[in-house]
Structure 1
Amino acid sequence: MSGNILTHIVSFGYLLREMGIAVSPGQIVELIEAIEHVGLLRREDLRATMRCMLVLRREDLPLFDVAFEFFWKKALGIDLEREMMQMLLPQVKIPRRQLRLPRRQPTADDADAAEGQEREEIDIQLTFSRDEALRTKDFAQCTWEEVQACKELIRRMEWRIQPRRTRRRRPDRAGRLLDMRRTLRRSWRFGGEPVELSWRHIRTEPRPLVLICDISGSMERYSRILLQFAHAISAGLGDVETFVFGTRLTRITRQLRHKDIDDAIDAVSKHVVDWSGGTRIGEAIKEFNFRWGRRVLGRSPVVLLISDGWDRGDPELLAREMDRLQRSCHRLIWLNPLLGTPGYEPLTVGMQAALPFVDDFLPVHNLVSLEQLGAKLAALGPQRPARRQRMTITRG
């Protein structure tokens, strides 16, 4: 691709960002590669390709159309047909280095307004993406715009959990278990001789996931973006039960079934009455065990408990109910957003009471921690982890 059309594509991406459309350098690189493969020869083909590669939200389409008509008009002096024909010529690879491309020069109409301004340059790093900076930033330190970008990245994440083996069998020619009933039935065709052997295979099904999230006042900086995580993982896995708690336990599985995240959050806000209040983890876990345990823990699910561990309740009750919950599930994972803070140690009474009954203690403070959680869920084996914990509560 010629340097001239490359400069215009980069400048057009800068214009979209100035208009409020989230366009990353990575998307620009992918657009350049797409144009090389498509081999565009018409203006409308260029518009369709750019709409597909650069616009991620439906509400940004009108802005994109205005920007496209403004930028790619004949007043800019761009011979689009000639530039596209140059794509058919032998190409020279662009080195993976930082490029300094000048911003589009002002036209005659705005020359007076631009007089006296210094020439500006745009630093474009082809291998850098704005999303990379967000991956390691703590959710509590993100601005509103960064939170929205994090929500979009969470929505794009793919979630997979290792399926579980059931006690049921199904016919399978490549199975390793002999199906005696079918073998004997088929032997009647040959006078009772088992000429043809039938085989079975152990049936697998998706392992359920239970998500229990703390929405108390101490979790206020993380609770809303973690609800976005709950919505995304519910849509990605399907068989997910979601609960939130502060001073009481509330099931929000039905509310998170809305396809639009904003509608889901509004429904949750109307349904939950103890938002940003106190925390009673032990009582919430007890209510879950006795009211919902038989219904949602019957198929050995993975339980994700998200909380910072600040608890006003009885630590003995918390330890006893955590012990009961751990014995009822396949794996109990505690996600603590404070664990990503340098120098953090779980010294609160609630964390000290719960940790002996936790299989995995992981952070959940940024996008990298969510990616690590996804890898953990995908790699879970069929066996439960070794559990030799004993309830140890020291009376003062």
Structure 2
Amino acid sequence: MTAPLALSPLPAAARPLVGFASLLRANGFAVAPEQVVAFLAGVDLLGPRSIEDVRKAAVATIAPPRERRDTFDALFDAHFLGAAGEPEDADDWQADDDMKVEEEGVGQDILIGEEVHETGREATSAEALAVRQLRPPDDGDTLRRFTRALPEALPRRRGYRHRRARRGPGIDLAASLKAAIRNDGEVMALKRWRRSTRVRPILLLIDVSGSMKQRSDANLALAHALVHAAPRVEVFTFGTRLTRLTTALKRRNRSRALAIAADLVADWDGGTRIGDALQAFLAVPRFAGYARGAVVLILSDGLERGDPGAMIRSVQRLAARAHRIDWLSPLAADSGYRPETEGLAAIRPFITSLANGATTAAVCRHVLSLGRERAA
């Protein structure tokens, strides 16, 4: 009989990092297994050269709630630096049996804020981890027409390769000489070339917080259609944390793809921390590379409840990498809409357009209009 395979022991260098995640769970922080894996990868990516690199990796991947950042830092110092003292609210935290879920045999405490708004009409800073089942889209015909029209309407840019053309700025010497050989050395006409064009990548960022509750299902269905109609698309969701859904949405069956995506997103209908989510996105070089030269589509109402300064700085850095940023908000359905929140008003100079995102048809029309730009 074949002996069962033994699990490889955890490397000694990784034990303090995994122990920190356990310490956070014991003090009421919601830390998913994939966040622990991302934390380890982030530390490996940063070196680390100092303990502050470890702290940055922890903040970017675990994304502690803004209101509990002091507790997070105190636990970090106590665990890695041996700082004396306990976090201020450590004694006040009491785990409630109704607030625990079991995942792969390990209990995880889930922090549920009291500010969660069930109607989805207001933004909140509280983090609520939830499971959601996405409904099939009601506008399937709109998505089918969008999928057929998109390949020809995708925004493009000039590439570095050349292709033959009847008219062009350069002379294709090799093709001209080949044509001359067929005419006994007589050059009858000069062949021309021009630079080819390439489809620009698309980065889709979807707000799944409580204030966008009514649009979350439709926006995920639109993302699935976009992934299968365009060659280079990356999809992320954000609320109180950042989740990459590109791989899940690549499945051809829409119902299956949306079901997997719904399981991956843990912060449905919770708080809104746009700045923290964008900072986490830009902190990972591989993710930040997706924005280089891309058309960035942000489906959000912009009701930031975190630090507006973080949102402003993140959008400014994102705009420096991207070709353009289009912010599609349900509130912009009114032609007289003007951004009122501090964060959205401040980032207005960095975004190309603030357009209507109230319906799937409106979002599709806007995306199809992007291809009318001249390739630059």
TM-score w.r.t. the length of structure 1 is 0.53
1:165 to 158, 162, 165: 158
Contact 2:142/2:361 (<8 A) preserved: no
2:358 to 347, 365, 372: 365
* 1:302, distance to aligned residue in structure 2 (A): 0.8
Contact 1:177/1:200 (<8 A) preserved: yes
Contact 1:164/1:204 (<8 A) preserved: yes
Matched, 1:155 2:144: yes
Classify 1:343/1:147 alpha carbon distance in 2 versus 1 (closer, same or farther; 3 Å). Answer: farther
Contact 1:217/1:276 (<8 A) preserved: yes
Contact 2:325/2:353 (<8 A) preserved: yes
Matched, 1:325 2:314: no
Classify 1:172/1:380 alpha carbon distance in 2 versus 1 (closer, same or farther; 3 Å). Answer: closer
Q: How far apart are the structure 2 equivalents of 1:212 and 1:224?
A: 14
Alignment of structure 1 residues 109-120 onto 2, 5 Å? none
| Equivalent position amino acid for 1:278 in 2 | G
Q: How far apart are the structure 2 equivalents of 1:174 and 1:225?
A: 44
Q: How far apart are the structure 2 equivalents of 1:164 and 1:255?
A: 28
Classify 1:289/1:187 alpha carbon distance in 2 versus 1 (closer, same or farther; 3 Å). Answer: farther
SS of aligned partner of 2:200: coil
| Equivalent position amino acid for 1:228 in 2 | A
* 1:283, distance to aligned residue in structure 2 (A): 1.8
Q: How far apart are the structure 2 equivalents of 1:368 and 1:189?
A: 55
* 1:194, distance to aligned residue in structure 2 (A): 7.1
Classify 1:307/1:148 alpha carbon distance in 2 versus 1 (closer, same or farther; 3 Å). Answer: closer
* 1:187, distance to aligned residue in structure 2 (A): 8.2
CA radius of gyration, larger in: 1
Indicate the residue corresponding to 1:235 in structure 2: 228
Contact 2:218/2:360 (<8 A) preserved: no
Structure 2 gap segments, 5+ residues each = 1-120, 122-134
Q: Tell me whether 340-349 or 199-208 shows the greater mean CA deviation.
A: 340-349
Matched, 1:272 2:265: yes
Classify 1:271/1:176 alpha carbon distance in 2 versus 1 (closer, same or farther; 3 Å). Answer: same
| Equivalent position amino acid for 2:171 in 1 | L
* 1:192, distance to aligned residue in structure 2 (A): 10
Alignment of structure 1 residues 194-205 onto 2, 5 Å? 197-205=190-198
* 1:153, distance to aligned residue in structure 2 (A): 2.8
Contact 2:281/2:288 (<8 A) preserved: no
Matched, 1:297 2:291: yes
1:376 to 334, 358, 369: 369
Contact 2:309/2:343 (<8 A) preserved: no
Classify 1:197/1:220 alpha carbon distance in 2 versus 1 (closer, same or farther; 3 Å). Answer: same
Indicate the percent of aligned positions where both proteins have the same amino acid.
34
* 1:225, distance to aligned residue in structure 2 (A): 0.8
Classify 1:180/1:286 alpha carbon distance in 2 versus 1 (closer, same or farther; 3 Å). Answer: farther
| Equivalent position amino acid for 1:260 in 2 | N
* 1:344, distance to aligned residue in structure 2 (A): 4.3
Contact 2:162/2:194 (<8 A) preserved: yes
| Equivalent position amino acid for 2:253 in 1 | D
Q: How far apart are the structure 2 equivalents of 1:201 and 1:328?
A: 27
Q: How far apart are the structure 2 equivalents of 1:334 and 1:342?
A: 15
Contact 1:304/1:332 (<8 A) preserved: yes
| Equivalent position amino acid for 1:155 in 2 | R
| Equivalent position amino acid for 2:241 in 1 | R
Alignment of structure 1 residues 99-110 onto 2, 5 Å? none
Q: Tell me whether 330-339 or 312-321 shows the greater mean CA deviation.
A: 312-321
Matched, 1:335 2:324: no
SS of aligned partner of 1:356: helix
| Equivalent position amino acid for 1:154 in 2 | L
Matched, 1:254 2:243: no
Classify 1:156/1:260 alpha carbon distance in 2 versus 1 (closer, same or farther; 3 Å). Answer: farther
Contact 1:316/1:353 (<8 A) preserved: no
| Equivalent position amino acid for 2:371 in 1 | A
Contact 1:301/1:331 (<8 A) preserved: yes
Q: How far apart are the structure 1 equivalents of 2:361 and 2:227?
A: 19
Q: Tell me whether 250-259 or 339-348 shows the greater mean CA deviation.
A: 339-348
Q: How far apart are the structure 2 equivalents of 1:266 and 1:246?
A: 19
Q: Tell me whether 232-241 or 334-343 shows the greater mean CA deviation.
A: 334-343
| Equivalent position amino acid for 2:291 in 1 | L
